[in-house]
Structure formats: C-alpha cells, structure tokens
Chain A
Amino acid sequence: MSRRWHPVPVAAGLLLGAAAAVPAATRPGLALVGWPLLGAAAGFATSGST
C-alpha cells in the first residue's frame, strides 16, 4: 500500500523540511526559503475536520 499517504508522515516530512530550512536560510539566495514552508505548514494544518 505504498500509495497511501498517511497524515502523520506527511506532517513529519513538512517538519523535516522546515527544520532543514533553518540552516539553509543563511546561505546566499536562500533567504526566502522559510516563507513558502511557513505557508505550507499553515495550509496543511487546515486538513483537520471542522
């Protein structure tokens, strides 16, 4: 069932990406890398039921 995208690993992947962005953001040309990840984490967080 490799097609199944369980929410916990997807959220963990977002967290790993955001954590990797912290050192990356100090590099030239990557100063904006935190912004799309901020938006993506906030957007994905709206997955819960109402």
Chain B
Amino acid sequence: MLSSPVRRGTPTAAFGAGLVAGGCLTATALLVVGSLVRAPLPQPARWAVVAAALGALLLVEWGGWAVRVPQNRRLVPESVFRFGRHLGPLQFGLEMGTGARTYLPSALPYAAATAVALLASPAAALCAGAGFGLGRALMTAAAVRYPGPDGDEHGRAWSDEWSRHAGRLAVLTSAAVVAALAAVAVAG
C-alpha cells in the first residue's frame, strides 16, 4: 500500500479524506448501536462498563491476556485503485478508516469504540471517528517518512522499528488512550 499511488500528491489527500470518512462512518454506527444499549444505563454504570472494558483491553494489548480481539483478517484489495487516481485512494482510505474492513492489530480501538457507543454525543462521536482516521493517516505518513538504510521508503523500516519497540509503544499508546479518556471524563 505504501508503495502505491497513495503516497504522493492529491491522492494522498483523497486517501486521508477516506480515512476520516471511514472513521466517522464507524463512529456513527457505534453511536446508533450504543443508543440502544445506553438507554437503560445511568451515566455511572456506563462509565463502569467503559472502565472495565478498558482494563480488559489493556491486558490484551500488553500480552497479559491471550485473547484475540475480532478483526477482519484481510488486506484491502489493490483492485480498489481501478477506481482511478483519486477515487481509488479514497476507497482505500474509507475501508481502512472504518477499522472493520482490514487488519486491526491492536485492542485499543475497541476501548475507543466502547466509549463512543456508551458515552459520546453525536458531535463527540464524529470527533472520535475523525481522530481515528487521522491517527491511521499519521501512521501512514510517518511510515513513508521513515526510510530504511537502503533508501526503502515503503514502510518496512517503520514496521521493523515498531516491532523492535513494541512493548514501549504499547505502553505509550495505551497511556494516550487512558489520558484521552480522562480528558473526556473531566469534561463531563
């Protein structure tokens, strides 16, 4: 993917827009499903569920609980690029941004999804969805800006670094999720 036309020029913007749109789409779906679940639950009970889910998912993320969270074990097919220079990357980003159409190698999105489903207003859900897309765009942008020693700019060097520092990165990203949830909590 990182060696695809997504890497440069206006297709990059289309890819980013697709990521954000995909995140917003999933957040909206979570909001609809969550509205059915949250109705009988008072706010403290909803926070308790979010906290319990967060605790369990942190255990999974850090390897303390050998449970595989659901993910769609497939790559977005490169055939999406048949849609053209902009619609192809847009479709690619949309599928990747939903978090449901391709690999999701972390448990942390489920913590965000639980919070959106049980706590978010419509505006907050869209903010979270857009943030998810931007987070995935940040990953892509950073990966192509991390060339390997042989000039490889296709993300392999980034993936190698991620694997090398996986434990530290799990702690940092988990702490970022916890801090962001704390910000949501203090805002009421």
Cross-chain contact A38 with B112 (CB below 8 angstroms): yes
Per-residue 0/1 for A31-50: is the Cβ within 8 Å of any B Cβ (1 yes, 0 no)? Answer: 11111111111111111111
- B52 at interface (Cβ–Cβ under 8 A)? no
Cross-chain contact A43 with B163 (CB below 8 angstroms): no
The answer to whether A38 and B184 touch (CB under 8 A), given A4-B146, A45-B173, is: yes
Cross-chain contact B176 with A43 (CB below 8 angstroms): no
Chain A interface, DSSP helix/strand/loop, else mixed? helix
Contact of B108 among A4, A30, A41, A50 (CB under 8 A): A41
Contact of B129 among A37, A39, A45 (CB under 8 A): A39
The answer to whether A39 and B132 touch (CB under 8 A), given A5-B146, A7-B142, A48-B166, is: yes
Residues of A whose CB lies within 8 Å of any CB of B are 3-8, 10-12, 14-15, 17-19, 21-26, 30-50
Residues of B whose CB lies within 8 Å of any CB of A are 23, 27, 61, 73, 99, 103-106, 108-109, 111-112, 115, 120, 123-125, 127-139, 141-143, 145-147, 158-159, 161-163, 165-166, 168-170, 172-177, 179-188
